[in-house]
């Protein structure tokens, strides 16, 4: 993650890194959604055909255990995108 990413330029180091455990299926994260009002980070994981949810996203750093890990396991490879209705 990068603080002030909107104004950053050049080759900069991330301000923090999140390591998700456990990792039973591996990861390939093609999309994410940051729900700022609820401070949650949603990650689409197409290796596990599911979604990973991290609570307290604004302060998450280092090793993090997800709040929710869904595995669709429907025989469909994906998801490749994510949309959350926060209403």
* pLDDT, tens only, 22-67: 765 667 788 889 898 999 999 888 777 788 899 999 899 889 988 8
Q: Are 47 and 28 in contact (CB under 8 A)?
A: yes
Question: Which pLDDT score is estimated for 55?
Answer: 92
81 or 40, greater pLDDT: 40
b (16+ CB within 10 A) / e for 61-84? eeebebeebeeeeeeeeebeeeee
Question: Which pLDDT score is estimated for 75?
Answer: 61
What does the alpha-carbon distance between residue 54 and residue 26 come to, in Å, rounded to a whole number? Answer: 16
Place of tokens 């979604």: 51
């Amino acid at each position: 993650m990068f603080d002030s990413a909107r104004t950053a330029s050049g080759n900069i180091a991330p301000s923090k890194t999140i390591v998700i455990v456990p990792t039973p299926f591996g990861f390939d994260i093609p999309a994410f959604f940051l729900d700022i009002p609820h401070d949650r980070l949603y990650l689409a994981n197409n290796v596990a055909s599911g979604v990973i949810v991290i609570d307290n996203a604004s302060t998450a750093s280092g090793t993090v255990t997800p709040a929710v890990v869904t595995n669709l396991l429907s025989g469909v490879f994906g998801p490749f995108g994510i949309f959350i209705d926060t209403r």
